[in-house]
Amino acid sequence: MTTERDIRTAILDSLLTTPHRGLEKVAGVHSEMLSQDPEFYAKLAVWYQKNQTIRDHKEVFIANLLLSDDKEFRSAGFVLLQEFPPYEVARIILFMKEHFNGKMPRSARTAVTTYLRNREADDSWFDNCAVQARKDMKFLYAYLHIKPSARAAQILFANDPPADSVPGKLRAISKISDPAEQAKAVIEAKIPYRIAIGAVSSVTPAVLVALVNAMSPQELINNIGALKKRGAMEMPELKELINDKMKKAKSAKRVSATKAKIAADAAGVDDETRKALEDVGNEQIRSRGQITRPTAILVDKSGSMSQAIEVGKHLAAVVSGVTTSDIFVYAFNDAPQEITSKGHDLSDWEHAFRNVRSHGSTSIGSPVQAMIRKKQVVEQFVVITDAGENCTPYFATAYVAYCKEFNVKPSVVIIAVGRYSTQLESQLRQNDIEFDVHKFIGDYYSVENLVPMLAQKSKFDLVLEIMEIELPKRENM
């Protein structure tokens, strides 16, 4: 049982990597996961689609499920694939083609055929897919030898879209010389922002309204800076429309919490819009788990720990936005430095950390001693460090004193960064202190993926939650 538990918690650790647009970088990790614990792997795939955001992992999960010899795993892969946008479905199929000797099981072809037929059955849905992912749609039909419907063939292969289709309307819009008429046509056709912005000759207020109306929540967040540059925030009605749409993004799928927070800092918008973006990010993170326990975040600022400082800023911004309890943040080398922020935005925490530099030796116990003096009681320590502790007070010793002082036993979570040492782990084991380790080998977009880990009492609790998941099944199996 211990070995099985260790394997499953180790699998969770591996998912903190973020190899954007590099499926081959995670292929080996997933193969090892699947071979070690197939049942957990399949359930983890389902959990991951709902609770995490790293696209590369999501896609490799689906590929492996579709390639499985297990009928229930293939069924789960079939169902999950239907939720992906076309460009990701194409990436999944291309990954299978390149990494499995061209092996394309019937289950994959059936899943994609169903995917395409469902879109063909809804003209509006299909048209938007064809406009935004034309190359990927063509690849799916051609590579898997799936015969397109007559309408799909007209749009994708004959380059002769019906006049009433979105591609047909877009072609007509590009020929309209009157900006007002173009704006009217854009509104009526509901052309996506990325496509329409290059098709219209003049971006008038009416065109901006049409584009915002057609945007998905993530599109709006991604383009908030561009809209500001075009004067959208100076138009009261348009600004109200943007903020209203932002509220809907709180519960929308495919919205990155971290991207929303970063957009709030990068776009240079006013306080109202910044607050709306921050709320989107926080609500998206809450949907993956809410941190209800008082938490201390201890950030290593000793020599060569600049990465720990960056992770600390991002994690503090994420946790402070979704916690319902106290949060205490300390930076430390051989002495502690309490960090306080006036707000929850990443920019607020950037400002709070502005004078924190990596230098000096390492005493992870020093902030714990400071918390004893200040009577700051928590139920969870999150330590971001390479664990190379080299001066007193040591963390294990300070932790024991902390527990005795307040009659508590906080959980300990280590976020391992840099050239990680096992020294701290050895000291914790010697003192019978339970702990979890999450190895952070990614970029700062993956920090939000730590929330489900921190929302649980332990990684093992999360493992138990995942094991309770039922695999989705195809209808009429």
Q: What is the pLDDT of residue 141?
A: 97
What is the bridge-based pairing of β-strands 295-300 and 411-416?
A: unpaired
Number of neighbouring beta carbons within 10 Å of residue 163: 9
Rounded to 5°, the CA angle 25-31-33 comes to 105
The neighbouring-strand residues paired with 296 are 328, 381
Residue type, 194: R
- C-alpha distances (whole Å) from 395 to each of 81, 388, 460 are 46, 11, 23
What whole-number distance in Å separates Cα of residue 166 and Cα of residue 303? 57
Q: What is the DSSP string of 395-416?
A: HHHHHHHHHHHHT---EEEEEE
Q: Of 449, 371, 379, which Cα lies nearest the Cα of 407?
A: 379
What is the bridge-based pairing of β-strands 436-439 and 380-385?
A: unpaired
Tokens 């971290």, residue?
258
User: If residue 382 lies in a helix (H) or strand (E), which one and from where to where?
Assistant: strand 380-385
Number of neighbouring beta carbons within 10 Å of residue 205: 15
- C-alpha distances (whole Å) from 435 to each of 44, 232, 243, 373 are 22, 50, 42, 24
User: If residue 298 lies in a helix (H) or strand (E), which one and from where to where?
Assistant: strand 295-300
What whole-number distance in Å separates Cα of residue 61 and Cα of residue 246? 30
Instruction: List all residues 6 or more positions away from 476 whose beta carbon is below 8 Å from its beta carbon.
Output: none
Instruction: List all residues 6 or more positions away from 381 whose beta carbon is below 8 Å from its beta carbon.
Output: 295, 296, 298, 368, 399, 410, 411, 412, 413
What whole-number distance in Å separates Cα of residue 251 and Cα of residue 273? 17
Task: Tell the burial category of 102 from Cβ atoms under 10 Å away from its Cβ (0-12, 13-18, 19+).
Answer: exposed
Chain length of the chain: 477
Cis before 38? omega within 30: no
What whole-number distance in Å separates Cα of residue 367 and Cα of residue 372? 9
What is the bridge-based pairing of β-strands 327-332 and 336-339?
A: antiparallel
Binning the chain into helix, strand and coil, the percentages to the nearest 5 are 60, 5, 35
- How many Å is the Cα radius of gyration of the chain? 25
Residue type, 63: A
- Are 302 and 359 contacting, i.e. CB atoms less than 8 angstroms apart? yes
Number of neighbouring beta carbons within 10 Å of residue 239: 19
- Are 91 and 62 contacting, i.e. CB atoms less than 8 angstroms apart? no
Residue type, 375: K
What whole-number distance in Å separates Cα of residue 305 and Cα of residue 324? 29
Which tokens go with 227? Answer: 């809209």
DSSP-based three-state secondary structure for 118: helix
What whole-number distance in Å separates Cα of residue 247 and Cα of residue 251? 8
Per-residue model confidence as pLDDT tens for the chain (477 residues):
455 656 777 677 666 554 545 556 677 778 888 888 899 999 999 999 887 777 888 899 999 999 999 999 999 999 999 999 999 999 999 988 887 776 788 889 999 999 999 999 999 899 989 988 999 999 999 999 999 999 999 999 998 999 999 889 888 887 888 877 877 787 777 777 777 776 666 777 777 777 787 777 777 877 887 788 888 888 888 888 887 888 777 766 656 655 665 665 555 667 777 777 777 776 766 666 678 899 999 999 999 899 999 999 989 988 888 888 999 999 999 999 999 998 887 778 989 999 999 999 999 999 999 999 999 999 999 999 999 999 999 999 999 999 999 999 999 999 999 888 888 999 999 999 988 888 776 666 667 777 777 876 667 788 888 999 999 998 865
CA atoms within 13 A on the CB side of 189: 29
What whole-number distance in Å separates Cα of residue 415 and Cα of residue 449? 12
Say what the pTM is: 0.68
